[in-house]
Amino acid sequence: MPTPLIIQRGHEDYNTTLQAMRAYTDSRTADSADQLWLVTHDPVYTLGLGADPSHVLDAHGIAVVQTDRGGEVTYHAPGQVIVYLLIDLRRQRSDRRLLAREFVHGIEQAVIDTLAAYNLHGQRQTGAPGIYLADGPFEGAKIAALGLKVRVNGCTYHGVSLNVAMDLTPFSWINPCGYAGLQTIDMRSLGSDATVEQLQVTLTGQLIQQLKGHAPAAA
């Protein structure tokens, strides 16, 4: 299986990225390359397909955008690593296409392994996609959010965001991922001086390793 292309899109308006993801997915053929898009956005709240708008408590002038991913409301801003995964799940298994829940599990594991590389411990929580701190004074705080769109043909877009070094205040103006009072955290608050650029490299590397882990064995 070819390694996904890493596309560095830089700092981009959320709606521009959203339309570009849809356009690429609409135009895909059996030969289209899988891609990982790296991007940062100006402050924006995004709502998943099943999101309750009342979970935006007070937007304070921050744009609120309805998307077509799964999940509830989340927040994007500078200081996050955002990776959008434009992947054809049909390519990821030799016997059958990779199931969406397996794909989500792999993305979460990539975040856990990324945090471990910086001596931070993340964990899953049942029924709540994303990654949460596993120990310490901020145990249970959310550090990474995940939301995907999986087309009926097995092609995915949207992806994962990891909080690195950002202003966390706007998370208090929503119920993050639909949970009132859910604490959010970033790596800087945990003592890490890692940069967004460093985390982009680490996280994309871990995501590629997870994808390769589901690839057919070499003949």
Q: Which residues are catalytic?
A: 177
Strand partners, 90: none
3-state helix, strand, coil in the chain (%, to 5): 30, 30, 40
**Residue 190 corresponds to which amino acid?**
L
Angstrom distance (rounded) from CA 154 to CA 150: 6
* Residue position matching structure tokens 């937007």: 59
Q: What is the DSSP string of 8-45?
A: EEEE--HHHHHHHHHHHHHT--TTPPPEEEEEE-SSEE
**Whole-angstrom Cα Rg for the chain:** 17
Per DSSP, the three-state class of 189 is: helix
Angstrom distance (rounded) from CA 163 to CA 128: 17
